[in-house]
Amino acid sequence: MRKWIADNEVIVMLVALAAISALVYLPLVNRLGYYYDDWYLMYSARAYGSEAFIDIFSVDRPARALVMIPAYTLFGENPLYYNLSAYAFRLISAMAFLWTLRMLFPRQQNAAFLASVIFLIYPGFLSQTNGIDYQSHLLGLAAAHLSIALTVKAVLTDRLAARALLYALSVLSGLLYLSQMEWYIGFEIFRWAGVFLLSSCMGGTLLQKAGRTIRSAFPTLAVPGIFLVWRLFFFQSERGATDVNLQLEQVRLYPVQIIYRWAVQVLQDLFDVFLSAWAIPLSQLKGYIQVWGGALAFLLAGLLVFFLYLYKDQEERNAPSQGFMREAMIFGLFVAAGGLLPIAMVNREVSFPAFSRYSLVSSAGVAVFVSAFLMGIKQGLFRNGLAALLVVVSVLTHHANAVKAAQQTAATNNFWWQVSWRVPQFEKNATLIAGYPGVPLEEDYFVWGPANLIYYPDERQNERNIQPALFAAILNRDTVEKVLARERQEYRKRKTIITYTNYRNILVLTQPGVNSCVHVIDGNAPEFSYGEWDFILQVGPYSELEHALADETPHAPPTVVFGPEPVRGWCYYYQKAALARQRGEWEEVQRIGEQAFGRGFEPQDLIEWMPFLQAYAIGGDVDRLIELAPRIGSQPHIAEQACRILVSTEGIAEPVLEEATSLYCAGQ
C-alpha cells in the first residue's frame, strides 16, 4: 500500500484534500441560507435584475459584478449553489497552494501537504458559510493561489513558449483576484517571496538574489502595476475604507505616526492569526458543538496522523534540515505579515468573528510556518499529537460555526413563515422593527430584505436607484430614542440602495424567545411576553397595526430562500387566531382555538392566550375564562395585561365582564 501511495503521491494528496474539505464544510451545506449582506444583494437582483450588481458594486469594487452576474444567472436565489461554489473555490485554492509548496520545497512533500491541510481548514476564517456575499472573496482566493502557482511554475520552466503561456495565465488570474478585493494585494508578497526563495538556491549576495528574482518573474509586475494605476488614477471609491487616495493622504500628513500605527497593528494581527485564531473562535462557538462534530474532528485528526505515518519512510529519507525549518518559518512569517499590511493600511484589523475575513491572505503564511515548525520536531509521537490537536480545533471550529449558521437560518426562516401566516400584506413604505431570537440584527436590511422578498419581490419603487417597498429600523437604543422623539422620515443611501426609514410609521414584530411565537404588536393594546426585550417594551406602544393589511391576498415566502413551510404547530394556529382577531372575527378565533387545542397544542408563552381569552369573553364562555384564570394568574405580568385588555375590549356583556374582572383583575 505504501508503494502504491508513493507512486501516486499527487493524486492521493489531492483526493485527501477533497475528502477532508468535504467532511469539514459540506455536512450542513443544505441548511445554510441568507446572511448579512446577502439580503440586500439578492433582493436587489430579484427586483431589478442581475444588472443591479453593477450599480451596487460600482462604489467600491466594480469587478465584483462580473462575478455575481453570472453566478446569479446560474444559481438564481438558491443559497445551496452559492455555498457549493464557495466550497469549490476554497478547495481549488488549497490545491493550488499545495502545488506551489511542492515546487518551492520539492524535498519536503509531507510538510507541503500538512501546510495545505492547515490552510484548507484554518479556523480563523469564519465566513465560509456565507457563500453568496463571499463568492467574490473565495473566487479571488482561488485565483490568487493559482496565479502564484503559475508564476512559480513559469520560473522553473525552461521552454520559452511554455513560460510565456504560464506568465500570461498568471497575470490574468492575478488581475482577476485583485479586481475582487483590493486588500488581497498582500498576495503579491507571497508571489515574490516564493520567487526569491527559488532564486536563493543559486547562491550569491542579497542584491544578486533580488536581481535574479526580478528577472525571473518580471512579467507578473503587471498584476499590481495595472491594478494600482487603475485604482490610483482612474477609479474613485465612494467608501473611505477602500479609497486609496484617502489613505495615502493620511501618510502624507502624518508619516511617522501612521507608519508606526501600521507596524503596531500588523504585530497585533500577527498574534491573532498565529495564536488567537486557534482559541478565540472556538471559545466563542463552543456552545454549538454537537456530538457528531466531535467524532468527526477526532476522525479527521486520526486520518491525518495515519496519512503522515504512510509517508514515514519518505520523511526519514528527506528529514527536514535546520536550514529548511529556518527558511520555511521565515518565509511563512514574511507572507503572513505581508498579507496583513494592506489591512492595517486601510485602518482595519483582524478580529473574531466580525472581521475574520482579514485573516484569509495571511493564513497561507501561517500554514507554512506551523507546518515547518511541526516537521522540525524530532519526536514523531509529539509532532503528530500537535498536528492532530490543530486539526481537532479547526474541525470543531468550522463544525460549530456551521451549526450556528444553520440554526440562525432556521430561526430566520421560521420567523418569516410565521409573519406570512399572520400578515397577508404590509402597507407599502411601512417601517418594520423586528427582533429575532438568537439572530443579531446589525443592519436594517436584515429585516427589510426578507420582508420585501416575501411581500414585494418584484416591486420597482424607483427606476434610477434601488428602493425597497418596505423599510426597517435596527432595534437599538438610537432607534428607541428616535421613535420616542417622533422623528420624521430619514433618508439613507447605501451602495445605490435608497431607504426612507420613518420613525412615525412603524410596525413592531417580535419573537422574544424560541418558545414564543412571533407577535405583531398593536400599539393601541400592546401585549408583551414576560421575557420581552426592553427596547420592544419601549417602542411597542408606538406600533401601528394598520400597516398589517389583514384583508389582502396572503403572500407565502419563496421556499428557495426560506425553506419549506414549517410544521403547522401551535404558532400557526396562534397567528391565524391573531389575524382573525384583527379582522374582528371572534367566532373564527374560537374555532381556530378548538382546532389547536383538539390537536394537543397550547402556548408556552402565556401572552399568546390573549386572542382566545378575548374571544371567550365576547362569546360569553365563562367556563373557559374560569379554567384559564389560574394559568394566567401564575404570572402577574401577564395577568395585569389580561385585566387591562379585557376591561378595554368592546362587546363583552356586563355579567361576563364582571366575572372576568373578578378573575383577572383581583389584586391589580
pLDDT tens-digit readout, 509-551: 999 999 999 999 999 999 999 888 999 999 999 999 999 999 9
Helical (H) or strand (E) element with 580: helix 570-583
Classify residue 520 by its DSSP letter: E
Q: For position 174, what pLDDT does the model report?
A: 95
Give 320's pLDDT tier (boundaries 50, 70, 90).
low
Say yes or no to pLDDT of 438 above 90. Answer: no
363 vs 310 pLDDT, higher one: 363
347 vs 478 pLDDT, higher one: 478
Give tens-digit pLDDT for 394-412.
999 999 999 999 999 999 9
Q: Return the domain boundaries, the chain.
A: 2-405, 425-550, 567-668
In a 10 Å sphere around its CB, with 0-12 CB exposed, 13-18 middle and 19+ buried, how is residue 152 labelled? buried
pTM of the complete model: 0.92
The Cα 642–Cα 174 span in angstroms is 66
Phi-psi region of 480 (alpha: psi -120 to 50; beta: other; left: phi over 0): alpha
DSSP E strand boundaries for 216-281: none
Say yes or no to pLDDT of 315 above 90. Answer: no
Say yes or no to pLDDT of 7 above 60. Answer: no
Return phi, psi of residue 542, to 5°: -100, 0
Say yes or no to pLDDT of 21 above 60. Answer: yes
- Average pLDDT for 139-160: 94
Q: Which of 631, 429, 459, 599 is nearest to 530 (CA)?
A: 631
Give 137's pLDDT tier (boundaries 50, 70, 90).
very high
Give 629's pLDDT tier (boundaries 50, 70, 90).
confident
How many other C-beta atoms can be found within 10 angstroms of the C-beta atom of residue 326?
A: 12
Q: Which residue has the cell 462534530?
A: 293
Distances (CA, A) of 379 to 298, 419, 442: 21, 60, 49
Which stretches within 311-464 are classed as H helix? 312-317, 322-345, 363-375, 380-422, 445-455
How many other C-beta atoms can be found within 10 angstroms of the C-beta atom of residue 425?
A: 18
The set of residues, in sequence order, having a beta carbon less than 8 Å from that of 207 and lying 6+ positions away, is none
How far, in whole angstroms, is CA 113 from its chain's centroid? 28
Give 80's pLDDT tier (boundaries 50, 70, 90).
very high
Give 2's pLDDT tier (boundaries 50, 70, 90).
low
Cell of residue 387, nine digits = 498536528
Q: Which residue has the cell 500605527?
A: 261
Q: What pairing do the DSSP bridges indicate for beta strands 425-426 and 471-472?
A: unpaired
Percent of the chain with pLDDT over 90: 66
Give 476's pLDDT tier (boundaries 50, 70, 90).
very high
Answer whether 328's CB lies under 8 Å from 369's CB: yes
Give tens-digit pLDDT for 196-245.
888 877 777 778 777 777 888 888 999 999 998 888 888 776 655 555 56
